[in-house]
Amino acid sequence: MHLLIHFSVLENLEQRVISNFGSLESQQDFQVPEFVLDDKLVFVKVHAPWEVLCTYAEIMHIKLPLKPNDLKTRSSAFGTLNWFTKVLSVDESIIKPEQEFFTAPFEKNRMNDFYIHDRDSFFNPATRSRIVYFILSRVKYQVMNNVNKFGINRLVNSGIYKAAFPLHDCKFRHMSEDPSCPNERYLLYREWAHPRSIYKKQPLDLIRKYYGEKIGIYFAWLGYYTKMLLLAAVVGVACFLYGYLNQDNCTWSKEVCHPDIGGKIIMCPQCDRLCPFWKLNITCESSKKLCIFDSFGTLIFAVFMGIWVTLFLEFWKRRQAELEYEWDTVELQQEEQPRPEYEAQCNHVVINEITQILLIIASVIGIIVYRLSVFIVFSAKLPKSLNGTDPIQKYLTPQTATSITASIISFIIIMILNTIYEKVAIMITNFVIQFGFVTLFVASFPLAPLLALVNNILEIRVDAWKLTTQFRRMVPEKAQDIGAWQPIMQGIAILAVVTNAMIIAFTSDMIPRLVYYWSFSIPPYGNHTDYTMEGYINNTLSYFNVADFKNKSKGNPYTGLGNHTTCRQVLLYLYRDFRYPPGHPQEYKHNIYYWHVIAAKLAFIIVMEHVIYSVKFFISYAIPDVSKSTKSKIKREKYLTQKLLHESHLKDMTKNMGVIAERMVEAVDNSFRPKLE
């Protein structure tokens, strides 16, 4: 680990460093360089010798190799595809596979029981850096007013030290000249961060060895999530193609585009006074595009994603359990040390949850008010400014203008807050947000998993490139799992079923179409002799008498559509309605079709939720969180650890008992031996 120090702050650099860290094992832990970089900045190299590493490995309960793993690895179930997996794997001639060991918490007095083949490789680089940082973060350097000041972090914050960080292994483009001591940074760059390795698997063991378990578990989760997205992307593309290929067979879209049906239906203005009357067939292109996403394939995909997310979480638990065993983090919670700042002082802080909830509610209300205000403004201004430009009016609507302005504002806010957000957010946060969008709203956009897949493939390599070539090497940290994000994703998985069911029920036209097809296309409500979708558009549009408009609400008369006494209420998108026509005893009240649709929507939500939840809970119960092979390895390791400790205790007892027996024999012999005068 290197420390960057401002030379101007220290009068006597070497004495100040040694006095600040006087409680270290030895002053030989520091190697002060003889050169000064620019008369203001110097480097101090902190090195931990073998004895210090052994001492603190015992204090930190670090698990180290006891014996090579003698359990056979199960062969892959896809043996016939070994040639394919070999192409995707890293080159084993460059990155050699890590040997597996049974491990146990290190004890200095039982050093002979551990597998110390080479002292230089017994502690991997991440463990060495973690031990050094552990020491530096707990060293006292000053006492003022009976208050101890300690830790490298405080010295960095006070400006005495500029930074403290582990060193990278050489330059990332240079191969090591000594084959027995490879440049791990070069190996990571070549087989992980380089663009030509984008199709290969990640060398997770080397990542963990070089950067620590926390970075390793991040890339392991991201890689597994990306691999599972491949299946979701394939199904999503298939559903999209199904809708795209069948858009020309969409009956209700044909009726909208037909000049004798949609071309003769006059629609009511979308705003007061300034908005004109319009013909339904101007939405022809929009209705065709809507057929792509609002199809039966979307329903199938929503059900599939509800099951997919459960499979992903369950299989990730199994993969995580394997990594916990391989990376010696099974009992991390009992082993990890509390932070030095917490050891010194524990401040109890209570966060007011009510205030946080009220802030969220206020933000949501503000967004709603903004969108309504912008919609009203554009509804009044756009028709007047675009008068006579029909092609533009088809695409530049008040809804479109509102969405565009909202997106621009969101983009500006994200760009402004990005610098602040990056400093406090964990890398995995962005992908959990992406995971939420992929699962919660996938019924709205089936191609979301495909876009997420492409993004993640690129993001993995970009992050790898930045860590390997651009960023300072981070202090390695232990991590057993992805932390609080696991229950968060489980909550998202449960909520995703409800949101997708409601999206299909309340924002798509699927349920009204099914109700019409099965109930209202045939007698007693319909005139057709067989089930059909013909007449659906006419059945779902309600009449409104223009004379019932208030004076201030009457539409723009200069529309070029001629005089008309009735219009149809807009039923597409957010303005769906099913009401009795003018002159009916219950005019403008909801008709029976409306109540059938509402009942069908509620029934659909209940049935879809219960079916998917039943399948989810069955899958969760059927798939164990830890595989049998991993359980066997954990049991074998515990047994071996207990056996070695027991044998060690027996040796000590035998040795001690032998000494005691010799002393007893000597005492008895002396008591019976004749005394010489």
pLDDT at 574: 30
Query: Which of 594-601's residues contact partners 24+ apart within 8 Å by CB, and which partners?
Result: 596/515, 596/519, 596/520, 597/511, 597/512, 597/515, 600/511, 600/514, 600/515, 601/505, 601/506, 601/511
Rounded to whole angstroms, how far apart are CA atoms 118 and 413? Answer: 54
Rounded to whole angstroms, how far apart are CA atoms 50 and 248? Answer: 75
* Residues ≥6 apart with Cβ < 8 Å to 536: 251, 252, 255, 513, 516, 521
For the chain, the domains span 2-182
Positions in the chain short of pLDDT 50: 7-18, 22-23, 25-35, 77-78, 334, 422-425, 558, 570-576, 672, 676-677
Q: Are 398 and 375 in contact (CB under 8 A)?
A: yes
pLDDT at 331: 73
Q: Among candidates 339, 331, 409, which has minimal Cα distance to 367?
A: 409
Q: What DSSP letter does each residue of 500-569 carry, written as one string?
A: HHHIIIIISSHHHHHHIIIIISSTTT---SS---TTHHHHH--EEEGGGS-GGGPPBS-SSS---SEEEP
Residue count of the chain, please give it: 677
Q: Among candidates 152, 141, 162, which has minimal Cα distance to 19?
A: 141
- List residues bridging with 68 in a β-sheet: 101
pLDDT at 460: 93
Q: Which two tokens stand for residue 653?
A: 């007892």
Rounded to whole angstroms, how far apart are CA atoms 274 and 405? Answer: 21
Rounded to whole angstroms, how far apart are CA atoms 578 and 438? Answer: 33
Residue 277, SS3 per DSSP: coil
Rounded to whole angstroms, how far apart are CA atoms 396 and 390? Answer: 10
Rounded to whole angstroms, how far apart are CA atoms 525 and 532? Answer: 13
Residue 30, SS3 per DSSP: strand
For residue range 504-551, what is the model confidence (pLDDT) as tens digits? 998 888 899 999 989 888 888 888 888 888 888 888 888 888 777 776
Residue 37, SS3 per DSSP: coil
Identify residue 233 by its one-letter amino acid code. Answer: A
Q: Are 433 and 441 in contact (CB under 8 A)?
A: no
